[in-house]
Amino acid sequence: MAGISVRKPSSISLQVYAVTASNPLLQDFDLPPYSSIRPEHVEPAIDVILADSRAALVELLAKQSGIPTWNGLVLALDELGARLGRAWSPVSHLNAVFNNPELRAAYEACLPKLSQYWTEIGQNKPLFDAYQALANSPAAADFALAQSTILQHTLRDFRLSGIDLPPAEQQRYGAIQMKLSELTSKFSNQLLDATQAWTKHLTDEAALAGLPDSAKAQMAQAAQAKELDGWLISLEFPSYYAVLTYADDRGLREELYAAYCTRASELGPNAGQFDNGPLMVEILDLRQELAQLLGFNDYGELSLASKMADSNVQVLSFLRDLGQRGKPFAIRDLAELKAFASELGCAELQSWDAGYYAEKMRQQRYSLSQEEVRAWFPIDKVLAGLFAIVQQLYGIEIQELSGFDGWHPDVRLFQISEQGRPVGRFFFDLYARANKRGGAWMDGARDQRRAANGELISPVANLVCNFTPAVNGQPALLTHDEVTTLFHEFGHGLHHLLTRVEYVGASGINGVAWDAVELPSQFMENWCWEPQGLALISGHFETGEPLPQDLLDKMLAAKNFQSGMQMVRQVELSLFDFELHASHGDGRSVLEVLEAIRTEVSVMHPPAYNRFANSFAHIFAGGYAAGYYSYKWAEVLSADAFSKFEEDGVLNPQTGRAFREAILARGGSQEPMALFVAFRGREPSIDALLRHCGLSEAAA
């Protein structure tokens, strides 16, 4: 052994090795090992990856002394992002679907670290210079369109990250982003806590008169889970919806409505305990400061810098035009509803009455109830029909997989293949439960990309809903509204999974302008109303017999029931969001902005205690700040795109393949309008949307 020096490992290096070796988030894996991930794994894993990434970035930039190359710069940075995403994506997902105090604390401890890291990336001048040099290099002339678009978007995002700001203002930018990350997470947490903090325990079944058996069974199951007799009503949406739609007890409806619409506010049964009011003000203040720091007048302008819409004026004009077109129909809808309710003894229709009497009016007018329809939409039949539709349209195959590691027993995993080749996989988490965020969403668990070694990494998606779970041995039965939600989220999933782009920056939904990202999702909803689609997704849960023609006729006749009120409600939310961000600082409170928009657009005003804004997670904790208008904007695109299928045949494979190749496969590789024109042959028209909603002049 003479002449050979052996260095004993230090205790620090042994500790680092132990953390790495035992931490599932630091291992290579295909799908996340959900059952092995513990809260104590989260922060150490993120710390290790961020430290490694910073060191790797220094090394990467040292190699860019000459003219950068795509592989040496963009793909190398994508590799760093993929490693971080592989660890953080399952943590973020678990925080939404399997929330607990320990995981929440670990998640929140990482938010400022991640915000700081991404701010460093966005303000790294040598990195910006390298991208600029690559964009100006001779090689860039031969780049594919997707590559050119990625470079263009990346340089734009550098500027939106404050690359041109003086050092002190860059520091302020970073501090704002860290604080916003903290506040938006707190908003979401307080909304979840407020939702779960309220329940109503009933032991007298008479109080639930009017509710369908399926709803009462779910409430009984909720009570049993808490070791209680009787029934337990909660603010989870299936429970709330059932009471507001069916409960004969008007006092119960009002009590539940008041609890629901004052969640996370200074009012209500948990007044002030989870109040999001101060958070909203602080979030808006910081967004306004951020926008002005970057040279914009307001956050609306900053939001539009990466969207299809050109200006605040264009967005506000678009929304007000829709509102004006829809309001006469909404006024008519409300007058009919009030007259109907009056005939049944309700002299003054209130917000907690609208859903109840609308359902009774629907039953009387069309001999159709949501509960009757539910029996024809068992979950497995709906899924089989959904898969049959997209398989015929897009030439793919879908099969369920087993033997995977999920986060809950209800979670299911599926694989999409094309001509026998696996294309991507998606998880379904469909049912409401405690410690799960409300609503429905899709998130990309993994992006498609071509790795540096040439391997094609296939995409993975998480599709999450909050439907009423199965009870009493019956399968889960969906309302038609829930079927539509399922199709909507699956449209997002297909956008992510059917991409043909192999560069992360434009793969799937990456790089897609936010006001176009709803096109594929809203587009999918159309098949929930087409007779050919309904024939595939429906069948009685006991007999399997197809949806009767008379029931189908009723559903189609009722399709646009109260569509005027629905239209102005969406316009109200969109205008409120955009006006709130575009006019912040004019002295009005959040509630005053909302009231002004309601006065302008709405036809039915809620009670003064309504605090809807305090639970508007889309704009205060999601990605829709100054962007909620995207739903209506993209609905124009989706309705017009579907009109092509109406012309060619709703299940026409040739039209389906054309839509896939022009829209779904291209992701963010081109500007959305160019992709739409490539499919439709012209720019979009609003006519199809108004016709689909029954709001065209002919329907007046």
Point out the residues that are catalytic. Answer: 489
Strands (DSSP E) contained in 275-411 are 397-401
The conformation of residue 263, written as its DSSP 8-state character, comes to T
Is-contact 273 265, C-beta < 8 A?
Answer: no
Task: DSSP for 205-249, please give it.
Answer: GGGGTT--HHHHHHHHHHHHHTT-SSEEEESSHHHHHHHHHH-S-
b/e per residue 281-296 (b: at least 16 CB within 10 A):
ebbbebbbbbbebbeb
Q: What are phi and psi of 612, to 5 degrees?
A: -55, -40
Is-contact 230 201, C-beta < 8 A?
Answer: yes
Helix (H, G, I), strand (E, B) or coil at 422: strand
How long is the chain?
Answer: 700
Strands (DSSP E) contained in 567-695 are none
User: What's the gap between Cα 187 and its chain centre?
Assistant: 16
Q: What are phi and psi of 334, to 5 degrees?
A: -70, -40
Helix (H, G, I), strand (E, B) or coil at 398: strand
Which tokens hold the place of 692?
Answer: 């689909």
Helix (H, G, I), strand (E, B) or coil at 200: strand
What's the CA gap between 321 and 316, in Å, rounded? 8
Which tokens hold the place of 602?
Answer: 């709405």
Helix or strand (DSSP H, E) at 425: strand 421-431
Helix (H, G, I), strand (E, B) or coil at 348: coil
Task: DSSP for 435-473, please give it.
Answer: TS-SS-EEEEEE--EE-TTS-EEPPEEEEEEEEPPP-TT
How far is CA 40 from each of CA 22, 26, 104, 110, rounded to the nearest angstrom? Answer: 11, 13, 11, 12
Is-contact 437 99, C-beta < 8 A?
Answer: yes
Cβ-proximal residues to 650 (8 Å cutoff; 6+ apart), any chain:
526, 527, 530, 532, 533
What's the CA gap between 613 and 595, in Å, rounded? 11
Q: What are phi and psi of 400, to 5 degrees?
A: -85, 140
- Token pair 């040279």: residue: 295
Smallest Cα–Cα separation from 281: which of 183, 169, 193?
A: 183
The conformation of residue 65, written as its DSSP 8-state character, comes to S
Dihedral angle of Cα 23, 25, 30, 36, to the nearest 10 degrees: 60
Is-contact 232 226, C-beta < 8 A?
Answer: yes
